[in-house]
Amino acid sequence: MAYQVLARKWRPKTFADLVGQEHVVKALQNALGKGRLHHAYLLTGTRGVGKTTIARILAKSLNCETPHEGEPCGQCQSCRDIDAGRFVDLLEIDAASNTGIDNIREVLENAQYAPTAGKYKVYIIDEVHMLSKSAFNAMLKTLEEPPEHVKFILATTDPHKVPVTVLSRCLQFVLRNMTAQQVSQHLAHVLTSEQIPYEAPALALLGRAAAGSMRDALSLLDQAIAMGSGSVTEADVRQMIGAVDQRYLYSLLQAATNQDGAALLATAQEMAGRAIGFDSALSELALLLQKLALIKTIPAAVPADDPERDTLQQLATQLGDEQIQLYYQCVIHGKQDLPLAPDEYAGFVMTLLRLLAFTPLAAAELPEGSHISGSELHDPSPKPRPAATLQPDNARIPAENHAAETPPAQAEPRLPESGHIELLRSNNEQREFPHSPNEHGRFSGSPNDNGRLSHNEPLTQETAPAARHTERLPENISGSPNSQHGLSPNPNESGSPAPGSVEPSRPYPSEPQPAASEAIPAAFESSPPWDDAPPAGLETALSGGALSQRLPENEQGELPHSQNGQNEPFPAQSAATETPENADTAALPLPDADTWPQIVASIAPKIGAAQMSAQHTACLGYDPQQHLLTLAVAEAGQVSISREHIQRIEQHLAAAYGHPVSIRTMDWPAGGKAAETPAMRQQRLRQAARDQAQSLLEQDPAAQDILNLFGARWLPESLVLQENGQT
């Protein structure tokens, strides 16, 4: 007897043998049991999900002599004839081969005659969407009012191409793709019945490769049995379908976790040498990251008998939740960008480099002065730099001529003995100030120095250009927003300055402009016209100083920036003591409804993703005896809050207070109003600042003059506030 492929040999013959499609089987069995039969059925779904199989089982159930609760017996003459393909009252039509109206007209002419051997005449039309428009029109009337002994069963993979007039006359069932687990379990049942040895990971690979189609899975299983010479092994299946060896994926993640770029590149090169498809490699890597996130969040979701469970748990302990999510996003975006890369290997390597370069936003903060691995970035501390000195114009030419005779390697800036300028370098957490005390305890450029800078020291070739840039230094420091000489107002954006260059500090909008006669010596009064300050008559009431003077104090009692029109420098002692380490250990107030937003703002940088949950909670009370904090969770925070976030908040509060703190969460009072959450408070303050800024602008005389002059109108939605609340 000739060999019969597994897809045909194991085709289900009853509803009980079907894998999946329970929603369709249940409806059909109930209809058969109750006798409530429709005259036309439409089965839709992708390839290999059981459309034709269900149609044949339904035809057997309709003509079975002894059906039982909708199931065909399989023993009567009608059931045996249908299985053998010789039942005269069952007609299967391939619409892909019989698309014309003549074929359909012949079917409709025979439909009026009564069945010969069975109860019903059943017409199964496969791939019905391939029929022509005229063929559809010819069968509309018969499909709407067929004879009582005729049943139509239509099947298609593309129901969108079927006319709506046909769809409305049929009872439609949508067949779903089968899961990889359902496919692998059925394959195991088939191999056990066939007495063929197999490995469970190999069946899992076949289940994923089948993409929900049982027929494709059985065809792949035939191929795997032939390749393994009578057995199914994981190595043979991986080689057959081009799947990536899990060892490569584990090596990639381990190297990315250890920030080992050499090992990462070596693994990628080995994969390229084995001709592994990088598109499938990224898909497998994303699937592995999904498993890691699942086992880290819900450990019970991964079965205990999973052969990869121990390896996944070990790798999950080395990766944080945020890092896994970031890696997953990098891999997904890398898979999308792979077709755009010059070649697959280059795109794959760039995706791996993203895993090394990117760090989660909510990752643990590094201590001050530490090195960020992989980025060659440091947290620099202020270092003394040679200060530039100024020289009158009549001393420039001799100095430059003398410097021209000196070799460039020996040209170094000379440090002045007194009266030099030192500018504090700013970082992300402290603002710069225009003056800093020198070694004599005085502030350079202050009114005590009569606004004059020392220019008694000669200039070398390197310091002469710096002196030209600093001729109008008092104006640049005092608040000119334009960098007219190519100097960046933020040192962090312009990189390390060259020796002898002067780096202006970040100006305050309302800082007073010193008079030219006080700030610039007579030797430097000649300057290009574009460097001159604008006339005072052009300044309007909308200047930064005028607007900032009308802004009120914030709730902490601090004035907004540039409130008083002048800025006092930080004392050296306070600048040294206010470090991140001391800020972390600063005492927090006891939690209550008023102080809870302040506490959340203090611990937010340290609790990572848990800050999203903390922002949507309100303090209902705190028991100092039991150290029990009761929080009400707003509706907006119900999705993000989790036990892990609560534990992280408890840990940081315990570290701040010096004793354990327990948190009890409650739902937001129904119909009532609990205390204000930090998110609500932030929204309220932002709206208040917006309303106030809008009121100030509407009352401003200059704005009213502009509106009257151009006949314009005010658009409130165009008002944009900065993060510090200024417009």
* DSSP-assigned letters across all residues of 53-66: HHHHHHHHHHH-SS
Fold identical between 6-174 and 246-357? no
**Cα–Cα distance, 28 to 53 (Å, whole number):** 13
pLDDT tens-digit series, residues 471-495: 444 444 334 444 344 444 444 444 4
Question: What 3-state DSSP class applies to 285?
Answer: helix
Give the residue, 360 or 628, on which the prediction is more confident.
628
pLDDT tens-digit series, residues 546-567: 434 444 444 444 444 444 444 4
- Whether the CB-CB separation of 31 and 69 falls below 8 Å is answered with no
Give the residue, 611 or 412, on which the prediction is more confident.
611
pLDDT tens-digit series, residues 126-177: 999 988 888 888 888 888 888 889 999 999 999 999 999 999 999 999 999 9
Of 1.10.150.120, 1.10.8.60, 3.30.465.10, 3.30.70.20, the CATH number of 180-241 is 1.10.8.60
Q: Where are the domains of the chain?
A: 6-174, 180-241, 246-357, 389-404+420-478+500-511, 589-676, 682-718
- Whether the CB-CB separation of 252 and 274 falls below 8 Å is answered with no
φ, ψ of residue 630 in degrees (nearest 5): -105, 125
Q: What is the mean pLDDT of residues 215-240?
A: 90
| Percentage above 70 pLDDT, the chain | 67
Please, what is the Cα angle at 719 between 718 and 720, to 5 degrees? 110
**Cα–Cα distance, 403 to 395 (Å, whole number):** 12
Of 286, 260, 266, the residue nearest 356 (C-alpha): 260
**Cα–Cα distance, 616 to 718 (Å, whole number):** 28
Give the residue, 182 or 496, on which the prediction is more confident.
182
Question: Token digits for 558?
Answer: 């601090």
pLDDT at 627: 86
Q: Supply the pTM of this predicted model.
A: 0.48
Judged by average pLDDT, the poorest of 218-222, 484-488, 664-668, 714-718 is 484-488
What is the CATH number assigned to the segment(s) 246-357? 1.20.272.10
DSSP H helices, 537-675, are 544-549, 572-577, 580-584, 596-603, 610-614, 643-657
Checking if the pLDDT of 366 tops 80, the result is no
pLDDT tens-digit series, residues 288-340: 999 899 888 888 877 776 777 788 888 888 888 889 999 999 999 999 999 99
pLDDT at 542: 41
DSSP H helices, 64-179, are 77-84, 101-111, 133-144, 164-167
| Percentage above 90 pLDDT, the chain | 21
Give the residue, 304 or 680, on which the prediction is more confident.
680
3-state helix, strand, coil in the chain (%, to 5): 45, 10, 45
Looking at every residue in the chain, the average pLDDT score rounds to 73
pLDDT at 586: 57
CATH class of 589-676: alpha beta
pLDDT at 399: 41
From residue 44, give the alpha-carbon distance in Å to each of 28, 52, 138, 520, 649. 15, 10, 22, 86, 51
What is the CATH number assigned to the segment(s) 6-174? 3.40.50.300
**Cα–Cα distance, 99 to 135 (Å, whole number):** 7
